[in-house]
Amino acid sequence: MKKAGLFLILLLVMSVTTHAGFYLEAENTNLAMGQETTIGIYGSPDESAELYLIVEWGYQSILKDPVVYSPVGSLGEVIPYTESGWTNSGYQIIVADTAVLPGGLIADFTFVTMDVGDIVVSLYNETLGHEAPENSLTLTESPEPTTVVLLGLGGLMSRKRRG
């Protein structure tokens, strides 16, 4: 019984470690309207992968200016992604197994917020055939400090008039 359980655990560990993982990181996740930040795709692929980096449905923001890091020129392609009826921003990224620098950085994109509230950017790995994103990043559009101060002063003024 113990050997069967140990074998099952070993099999699970091996299946998890054979998958090449990719993830997103942003320099800044709290942004003012129109502010830019850099989003990086990181990973250590052990085989080729077809990735999609997109701003999810319902959010109006822009991904632009891809910068690709490939020490041996084997990244493949970074292609702007479009779909019928879809107005958001996205890219298709073809990754070769040797296209990763030490530290795992594969590519950088400039992200510009054009929406209010939380904005979701997702990374899909088509190679795995998953419908759900492999990794998502939530960026929050927060009001500029001046706007917050003016709203606060307006609230104080309205309290004084009522009192």
The answer to the question of residue 94 being in a domain is yes
Domain extent, residue 114, equals 20-155
d(CA 87, CA 61): 10
Is position 66 within any domain?
Answer: yes
Q: Residue 15: inside a domain, yes or no?
A: no
Q: Determine if the pTM surpasses 0.95.
A: no
Q: Return the minimum-mean-pLDDT range out of 50-54, 83-87, 142-146.
A: 142-146
As beta bridge partners, residue 159 has: none
pLDDT tens across 55-93, in order? Answer: 987 777 889 988 877 654 455 678 888 877 777 789 988
Tell me what pLDDT residue 141 has.
78
Number of structural domains in the chain: 1
Radius of gyration of the chain (CA): 21
Q: Is 43 among the domain residues?
A: yes
8 domain-assigned: no
CATH number, domain at 131? 2.60.40.10
Segment 18-28 mean pLDDT: 78
Q: Would residue 90 count as lying in a domain? A: yes
CA dist 22 and 47 (Å) reads 12
